[in-house]
Structure 1
């Protein structure tokens, strides 16, 4: 009885939604993720090749994969505790417009081109495999948080879809400002934040037009590792000669920003809860 009351109270806190709860949860997630990164660095820092994270499988595991395992476990525990796995992966309550298909189309195109453009001979097979597996964790953690939990909380509080899109993408972009802690140049971090805001909008459009969170998770899970492997690093431009396929994927960043600007102009709608019914589009 007491446990049921406690669980119901905990769930009620988060079921109320709202932007500040979404931000609070994001901050808590980042605290666990960054705290885990610091602990891993202190315990296994000698295994991490800071100047080239993709040089060894140990470096990939301890610098990228293990902190994401910690963060993903925390998010999964939270979602389970409030009973949101089913609603997060339920069909979207707001349908997408035809033009939104541009977002997943160009995402898939870039993924395919980068897969073809990776110089696999420059990596150990275990490095490439671990990087791809790390992508699954990135897709799960970042999409569950920003296109899942944050979007749900904003919709539950009655926000318009334009606000949902902008705030969830802004939260996603600000997650990447934490890269400054790793020593990346401030200009690189700022450019990354701007790009990830546009990328976040494209993932929101993908959520809308595909109708289910699983598709942004999958596309994100493939996008990041193919980007890392095709450029040879994290959040950096490729150095040295690239394959024609990787070069063809280069303009994708500009395309995402254009799609984001179009979305800022065209996105409309609101997800509202009818009494004792599922949300409907108005």
Structure 2
């Protein structure tokens, strides 16, 4: 009678994926998540421009849709059993611009937090905004720099393709704000800014090899934007310079450099 080999103590055998990672499945997950989030937020009847005007609005338009989206993403990952979503198995050395972009992004977060109107901040709105920041960081990074990035890193694609595709998809995702009542020109601006900030968030994932780092950066960034800023000319000027000029410019440079230098670099698998 043949003997069954004993497993090595301390080792854990991971079951194979139920479905192989692919770009199209990743995009499908993005579509489903966007539908869940947008439908839940739009059903509140509160326009996007008023989401963060009061604590009840934040709970209904941001926290609830994000929580439902998080449940969907966790369910998908538990079912699909994809590897490489939260952690890179290997490390790629990258261009220096990735580190510069990450440093500029952190500096911009600090600037936004410094110029928050802390004195006039309603205490009731702090908790839902912080929860929103945590959920945005978890959901959108799991979706784009996690699931979609893992799906794009297949079929022999380059790392440049993976970085650019996930950044553009992140930008286009913000088109859903039209449905929730944001003006068209504002949405187009959000799409552009999100695309350029997406490549910077990719920088955090790429440098560290850990999705949690980009989650943390993303959550802090959005929290700093959701909190009300002071209304002085100086505050508006400095915050606007960081948000609308410096960060997008660095993001554009990063996108170009990664696209040129890594177009022949095999994607991490």
State the partner residue of 1:60: 58
* Distance in structure 1 (CA, Å) of the matches to 2:49 and 2:211: 35
For residues 127-183 of structure 1, give each alpha carbon's deviation from its aligned partner in whole angstroms, at most 9, with x where no partner exists: 022112100000111000000111100102321111111110111011101011122
For residues 239-282 of structure 1, give each alpha carbon's deviation from its aligned partner in whole angstroms, at most 9, with x where no partner exists: x42564x643432232233223323332212225xxxxxx4xxx
**CA apart distance, 1:230:** 3.8
Choose the corresponding residue for 1:250, options 240, 245, 250: 240
* Distance in structure 2 (CA, Å) of the matches to 1:50 and 1:193: 15
State the partner residue of 1:28: 32
TM-score (norm 2): 0.83
SS across alignment from 2:130: helix
For residues 89-142 of structure 1, give each alpha carbon's deviation from its aligned partner in whole angstroms, at most 9, with x where no partner exists: 223633333331112111111111111111123331120221121000001110
**Aligned-pair Cα RMSD in Å:** 2.3
Please show how residues 173-252 of structure 1 align to structure 2 within 5 Å: 173-231=171-229, 240-241=231-232, 244=235, 247-252=237-242
Name whichever structure is richer in helix by fraction: 1
Choose the corresponding residue for 2:149, options 127, 133, 151: 151
* Distance in structure 1 (CA, Å) of the matches to 2:47 and 2:266: 47
SS across alignment from 1:88: coil
SS across alignment from 2:52: helix
State the partner residue of 1:37: 41
Choose the corresponding residue for 2:78, options 77, 80, 84: 80
SS across alignment from 2:204: helix
Asked if the contact 1:117–1:243 (Cα under 8 Å) also holds between the matched residues in 2, the reply is: no
1:103 aligns with 2:101: yes
Q: Which moved more, 1:259-268 or 1:73-82?
A: 259-268
State the partner residue of 2:11: none
Large movers: runs of 4+ above 6 Å? none
State the partner residue of 2:267: 271
CA distance 1:51–1:167, change in 2 (3 Å) = closer
Asked if the contact 1:173–1:193 (Cα under 8 Å) also holds between the matched residues in 2, the reply is: yes
Asked if the contact 2:47–2:180 (Cα under 8 Å) also holds between the matched residues in 1, the reply is: no
List alignment gaps of at least 5 residues for structure 1: 1-7, 233-239, 273-278
Please show how residues 89-168 of structure 1 align to structure 2 within 5 Å: 89-91=86-88, 93=90, 94-168=92-166
State the partner residue of 2:5: none
TM-score (norm 1): 0.79
SS across alignment from 1:121: coil
